[in-house]
Amino acid sequence: MDAANRYCFMRSLLEEHIVILTSKLFSLNERLCGLVGRDHQEFLATQLACSKTSKRLSKSRHRLEAHRIAHGC
């Protein structure tokens, strides 16, 4: 890897976004587990939030992979 690609600002932003989404998904999953058998409406809302966050995470991972392939970083 050449010096220009060792640190790539865009790759760093994409990776940071993935970390943020992963952390959010973890928190939502913890909340979801705490809602089991307690509040059905809140459970369903949190389950939907988990699904949306998971989809966003998947899209971000694909963007990162496409960036790495396109730029070699």
Within 1-73, residue ranges assigned H as helices are 3-6, 9-35, 40-71
Q: pTM for the full model?
A: 0.84
Q: Which amino acid, residue 5?
A: N
Report the interhelical angle of 9-35 vs 40-71 (nearest 10°): 160
CA distance 51 to 59: 12
pLDDT digits (tens, 9 = 90+) for 5-61: 578 999 999 999 999 999 999 999 999 999 999 999 999 999 999 999 999 999 999
pLDDT computed for residue 4 by the predictor: 55
Domain-wise residue ranges, the chain: 3-71
- Residue 10 has a pLDDT of 94
Q: How confident is the model at residue 39, as a pLDDT?
A: 94
